[in-house]
Structure 1
Amino acid sequence: MDTAPLSALPAAQAATHLTVEPSILYFGTPVVLLSTENGDGSFNLAPMSSAWALGQTVVLGLGGDGQTAHNLAARPELVINLPTADQWPAVERLAPLTGRDPVPATKAEGCRFEPDKFGAAGLTAEPSHLVRPPRVAECPLQLEARAARVRPDVTGEFVIVEAAVRRVHADARIVVPGTDHIDPGAWAPLLYSFRHYFGLGPELGHSYRTRTPRGPAGPAV
């Protein structure tokens, strides 16, 4: 029997809760591609989905055994590339790859070493302005940054990175003309929810703090 989406259920039906123990808590977070520098001067590219921004700082959660965590501990420069929803196949091509050789035992079964992550994903490396790792040319939003703090999380399995953003590059098509504002109606980020990929649905409304309120004619400039 088909299950109706939660938003379509009467309030009384939607109020029943179960106590569950999910193996993961990716309840809906943006996907980013992190480019970092390897010890030999080559570059690594890795997908991840534990990222959030506070002001000009982006906080990242990484597996402690991954190449990205090792790179940032020694070489703090990175680029935080944000793909669009329709770029999920490229992200998934990266998912079973690692820049670590040999492959760490903590990696999922089927994971393999790949030195050319950009090529394997079908993506293009584009020079950055202020950091050594390249940007992903196909990503419409690219944040050049430097890891200001890298530390283990409370479990010891993961690494928490606080990255200070130094420069933002945005595709002109997602910028409100004549401003520095990203147009939320034009920007379509890729989201990761319980290991499934999603895009955004139609806009429901906006915060009272927005600088780009949208009306019938589009965002105000």
Structure 2
Amino acid sequence: MHRIHELKVMYFGTPVVLIGSRNEDGTADLAPMSSAWWLGRCCMLGLDDTSQTTANLLRERECVLNLPSSAMADATAFQVEVVRVHVEEELIIPGTDHIDPLKWDPLIMKFCEFFGGAGNLRPSRLAEGWNMPHGLRQPV
């Protein structure tokens, strides 16, 4: 069951990426995001599948990824206020406003593959071109 909770800290930090794509009418679309994972020439983008940028990428099959310098901070990111956070009750440390990092199991991209619970969940399409070994030993 989810519980609405006030968290003391909520930070997920990754580089800001500006995704340039082309709208159906040929005009430019530029969207900021901060969930991109890189390995060589491959990049995994975390996008909402209902966004205009996603529609453009699926249609056009191309985009431009821009990594702005820190001098461009005022021109790139939206600052929003989080008004509500839903957290599974069992993730909250009792009597606190903190998520228990030992209980939280986020989906993580490690070396081209999806991991959770310290185990390899499944390979990603990024792994195919890198000949990543599969059947990795699970921790005992």
TM bucket, shorter chain: 0.3 to 0.5
Which structure has greater strand proportion? 1
TM-score, reference length from structure 2: 0.48
